[in-house]
Amino acid sequence: MGNSLFGTDGVRGRANSYPMTAEIALRIGAAAGRYFRRDGSAAHRVVIGKDTRLSGYMFENALTAGFTSTGMNVFLLGPVPTPAVGLLTTSMRADVGVMISASHNPHHDNGIKFFGPDGFKLSDEAEAEIEALLGGDIEPAQAENIGRAKRIDDGRFRYNERIKTTLPAGLRLDGLKVLIDCANGAAYRTAPEVLWELGADVVPMGVAPDGFNINKGCGSTDTAAAAAAVVAQGCDVGICLDGDADRVMIIDETGKVADGDQIMALFAERMAAEDRLRGGVLVATVMSNLGLERFLDGRGLRLERTPVGDRYVVEAMRRGGWNLGGEQSGHIVMTDYATTGDGLLAGVQFLAAMAATGQRASALVHKFDAVPQLLKNVRYQTGHTPLESKNVQKVIAAAEVALMGKGRLLIRKSGTEPLIRVMAECEDDGLLLQVVDTVVAAVTAEI
């Protein structure tokens, strides 16, 4: 079996459809358990967290059965943010951590993300080895060595305490009215608790999950309601998380939304001024706006680009020894504090900047004028490869020539959905639309 189950962020798909079935989840748990028990010793453990999707119960049970069948002891955290799993994997000395979540996707999707014992997401190589085990017979543990399962009731409180310690000593959020939109997801209790305990006047949204409403009309991918509420309720700032709380969008007091690029620009500027930005480098993906790159260049800083996926951002950060990175979509990675993208952590750091400077959100978060960027998605049938068509490649080459010296073109397959993403940047709006529409038409015709 090839490395086909795992995408840019674990395994993901529609619940109860391949590959996200209970049967596959059980085998994934067993394969991962066998992979992490290669030395044959006892006392191996795994921590499992989830978001608020209805299907999370099914996958939690299936994974538990798979892991315990190979002798792994399982610690169940319940609903917690994805970064909490990375944190608790290391603090509980576990061999592996698992987050059951499809992040920003609708409720009918779900996914399985893996963290290694160091709290970082598994490499492509490790995922390929686990998938290879799925293709054969997975050796179960002897009856006397079957693992145990135990529910951990205070996992989110351990994570809460870690987030609060990242606020500079002596700094409080008193006087700040903060709207927090939790997307009816994994941080629906955690985020309001943390902000209130740090002194903020908290206006909660998206804190009533029912198994079906995660990311629905709320959260970092649908900020309209939160932006309107920030203005209507006179909030100083809004923080919008996604379903598993590893992404964030910031809304200023006027209701304007700032994406991950603007947040990273602020953090890079502040960290560089305090001599805390290692190497003067910010790591971001090929999707980040050209305006961010120009902003950094103007301050003697450098943008290091990676493929799309916060895992690839983190891998580059670790290789280079850099400590700030992220994605335009709102993954913000600060390895001084965490091993993966953490929306709540980034939100708290933004509030710290407001409290320390006394400046309004609008003055802090809109650091550069973005180069006009247009992204269109084309859905295709799994197994079809429209980008390999000679006609599509010819159209793409012509589009690149048209943009030469004026902008850039990026075309890629999504790692989480059957989509071809066509993105271009150009300050000539007419040329931008023409280039994207031409490529989209060619891909659509091939499909």
Surface-to-core class of residue 28, CB atoms within 10 Å of its CB (0-12 exposed, 13-18 middle, 19+ buried): buried
Q: Is the pLDDT assigned to residue 439 strictly greater than 90?
A: yes
> How many CA within 13 A on the CB side of residue 368?
25
> Which residue reads 């903060």 in tokens?
178
Strand positions, DSSP E, 69-225: 73-79, 96-100, 109-115, 149-151, 177-181, 201-205
pLDDT, position 88? 98
User: Do the Cβ atoms of 327 and 283 come closer than 8 Å?
Assistant: no
DSSP 8-state assignment for residue 289? -
362 is catalytic: no
Query: What was the pLDDT predicted at 39?
Result: 62
Residue 281 has pLDDT above 60, yes or no: yes
C-alpha span between 439 and 53 (Å, rounded): 36
What pLDDT, on the 0 to 100 scale, is given for residue 220? 98
Place 3 in a pLDDT band, splitting at 50, 70 and 90: very low
Residue 205 has pLDDT above 70, yes or no: yes
The proportion of the chain whose per-residue pLDDT surpasses 90, expressed as a percent, equals 88
Of 127-136, 197-206, 411-420, the one with minimum mean pLDDT is 411-420
Q: Which pLDDT does position 388 carry in this prediction?
A: 87
Domains along the chain with CATH numbers:
6-153 (3.40.120.10), 172-254 (3.40.120.10), 260-365 (3.40.120.10), 373-446 (3.30.310.50)
Say if residue 40's pLDDT is above 70: no
Residue 104: name the closest of 304, 343, 285, 399 by CA. Answer: 343
- Please give the Cα distance from 131 to 367 (Å, whole number): 43
Instruction: State the Rg of the chain over Cα.
Output: 22
**Contact (Cβ atoms closer than 8 angstroms) between residue 265 and residue 370:** no
* Cβ atoms of 173 and 195 closer than 8 Å: yes
Which residue, among 147, 203, 171, 193, has the nearest Cα to 349 in the 3D structure?
Answer: 171
pLDDT digits (tens, 9 = 90+) for 226-252: 999 999 999 999 999 999 999 999 999
pLDDT exceeds 70 at position 34: yes
Residues in Cβ contact with 144 at an 8 Å cutoff, skipping those fewer than 6 apart: none
Q: Got the DSSP string for 370-383? A: PPPEEEEEEE--TT
Query: What is the rounded average pLDDT of the residues 168-185?
Result: 96
Predicted pLDDT at 111: 97
Residue 366 has pLDDT above 50, yes or no: yes
pLDDT confidence bin for 2, thresholds 50/70/90: very low
State pTM to two decimals.
Answer: 0.91
Of 55, 69, 101, 103, which one is the catalytic site residue?
103
Q: Are 188 and 208 in contact (CB under 8 A)?
A: yes
CA distances from residue 109 to 19, 213, 332 in whole angstroms, order as listed: 11, 12, 23
Check: CB of residue 191 under 8 Å from CB of residue 180.
yes
Residue 350 confidence (pLDDT): 98
Q: 1: pLDDT confidence band, cut at 50, 70 and 90?
A: very low
Its sign, for the CA torsion 128, 134, 135, 138, is positive
Determine the average pLDDT of the residues in 322-343: 97
Give the whole-angstrom CA distance, residue 130 versus residue 3: 9
d(CA 325, CA 285): 9
Q: Count Cβ atoms below 10 Å from residue 228 Cβ, excluding itself.
A: 13
Q: From CA 40, how far away is CA 392, in angstroms rounded? A: 51
Give the 3-state secondary structure percentages of the chain, helix then strand then coil, rounded to 5: 40, 20, 40
Tokens of 162: 């870690």
Mean pLDDT of the chain: 94
Is the pLDDT at 417 greater than 80, yes or no?
no
What pLDDT digit, counting tens, does each position of 97-151 carry? 999 999 999 999 999 999 999 999 998 899 999 999 998 899 999 999 999 999 9
Single-letter code of the amino acid located at 193: E
Distance CA 265, CA 249 (A): 13
